[in-house]
Structure 1
Amino acid sequence: MGSTPQARRGDTRQRIQDVAMELFAEQGYEKTSLREIAERLDVTKAALYYHFKTKEDILISLFQDLARPLDELLDWGRQQPRTLETKQELVRRYSVALQSALPLFRFMQQNQAAMSHLRPGETLKDRMIAMTNLLRDPDAALPDQVRSLSALFVMHTAIFAMQHIEADPEDKRKAVLEVALDLLAQAHPGEQAHPGEGVGDAPDAS
């Protein structure tokens, strides 16, 4: 999921995904045709059809690539104690996954009308709900539940809110992560995270 278009150039399926995302970003999902994708790739439509029959198939494949490491992270989280340490590790790994998926999230923002009736949007929504369930303690005070949920949503909103802030992308990611971790810590008064204690190895989200 963290691969760059340059590193993935030898894989035809992934080249199609990369070029499709470029065109979706340039002119919108609805205005992009399979013919234009094939032309930019310099392949025939028949060659493109071998991998994807429709634009939505390409989009679904992109969401599946995003969902795979998220599913692994969610599975890991369900097997861990519901401690501050576990929740902060979930957020750390999720932060890396989000950074790798920035082009897809920007696509979602720019093509909200198209996303409203496309299947991938519901798939991602289900995973966001699952993540919030792992972060939120239903027995906690309501303000602390809000803080736990805000830790997740601050990372999502920051993707767009910080686009025009001039700073190194990794520095911005770390700053947002710091705020998210602080919110989680505030939601667990009296509890301290002890790195490496009581938490199994989390899957690599990159």
Structure 2
Amino acid sequence: MARGNTRQRIQDVALELFGEQGYEKTSLREIAEHLDVTKAALYYHFKTKEDILNSLFESVSQPIDKLIEWGQGQPRSLETKQEILRRYADALAAAAPLFRFMQENQGTMRELRPGEHFKHRMISLVDLLRDPDAEMPDQVRCFTALMAMHAGMFALKDIEGDPDDKRSAILEVAIELVTQAHTGH
């Protein structure tokens, strides 16, 4: 099997186990067993669990970094802010298992490097959505819009309904919050 395919399989199995058991309770040995490979074969690709986690976050970080870069070059209009939310919703959907892992392992995420990097990305996104001189309730609305997207994705996973409808509803609420903050109403 090609090296890239093996790395991807390791990432997929690790993320699945991290989600089921938690990051702390998952060992490299268990990951290797689920893949039916030796621990040495796993070490060839990743030396630690954190190396696996870092590689998972690299894949989701690139689209978010591009979104931040794009947003920084745009006017601070309502249309730009709404487009930032749409693009962020797409990034969330594309990396849903990783974001669920983050939601369920918040304590672990605070202690690891990817968590710190992700926190800085969230601050950058909030800065693109909020006006620096806005009243505090409007600044909170912008922060809450992003958090609603995260929490909504996590909370609605067990509620019946079409996944696309759920994502649309979450995005609609986030856009309403940012629109209210932008217009002051």
TM-score, normalization: structure 1?
0.82
Tell me what 1:169 maps to: 163
Tell me what 1:55 maps to: 49
SS of the counterpart of 1:116? helix
Aligned pair partner of 1:145 in 118, 139, 161: 139
Tell me what 1:195 maps to: none
Tell me what 1:135 maps to: 129
Q: Matched residues in 1 for 2:20 and 2:84: separation?
A: 33
Per-residue deviation, 1:35? 1.6
Comparing both chains, which one has the higher relative contact order based on Cα–Cα distances under 8 Å and sequence gaps of 6 or more?
A: 1
Q: Within the alignment, does 1:122 sit opposite 2:119 as a pair?
A: no
Q: Within the alignment, does 1:40 sit opposite 2:34 as a pair?
A: yes
Query: How far does the alpha carbon of each residue in 1:167-186 deviate from its partner, in whole angstroms, 9 at most, with x for none?
Result: 11111000111111122222
Stretches of structure 1 lacking an aligned partner (at least 5 in a row): 1-9, 191-206
- Runs of 4+ aligned structure 1 residues displaced above 4 Å come to none
Per-residue deviation, 1:64? 1.2
Stretches of structure 2 lacking an aligned partner (at least 5 in a row): none
User: Letter of the aligned partner of 1:154 in structure 2?
Assistant: A
Q: Matched residues in 1 for 2:103 and 2:110: separation?
A: 11
- Change over 3 Å in CA distance of 1:128–1:52 after alignment to 2: same
Higher helix share: 2
Q: Matched residues in 2 for 1:103 and 1:20: separation?
A: 11
Q: Within the alignment, does 1:84 sit opposite 2:78 as a pair?
A: yes
Tell me what 1:95 maps to: 89
Aligned pair partner of 1:158 in 141, 152, 156: 152
Per-residue deviation, 1:155? 0.8
Of 46-55 and 160-169, deviating more is 160-169
Per-residue deviation, 1:11? 1.5
Q: Within the alignment, does 1:182 sit opposite 2:173 as a pair?
A: no
Identity of aligned residues (%): 68
Tell me what 2:25 maps to: 31
- Change over 3 Å in CA distance of 1:162–1:44 after alignment to 2: same
Is the CA contact 2:149–2:171 (under 8 Å) kept in the aligned structure 1? yes
- Change over 3 Å in CA distance of 1:43–1:111 after alignment to 2: same
Q: Matched residues in 1 for 2:164 and 2:129: separation?
A: 24
Per-residue deviation, 1:82? 0.8
Q: Matched residues in 2 for 1:108 and 1:188: separation?
A: 29
May I ask how many residue pairs the two structures share in their alignment? 181
Is the CA contact 2:130–2:181 (under 8 Å) kept in the aligned structure 1? no
- Change over 3 Å in CA distance of 1:131–1:141 after alignment to 2: same
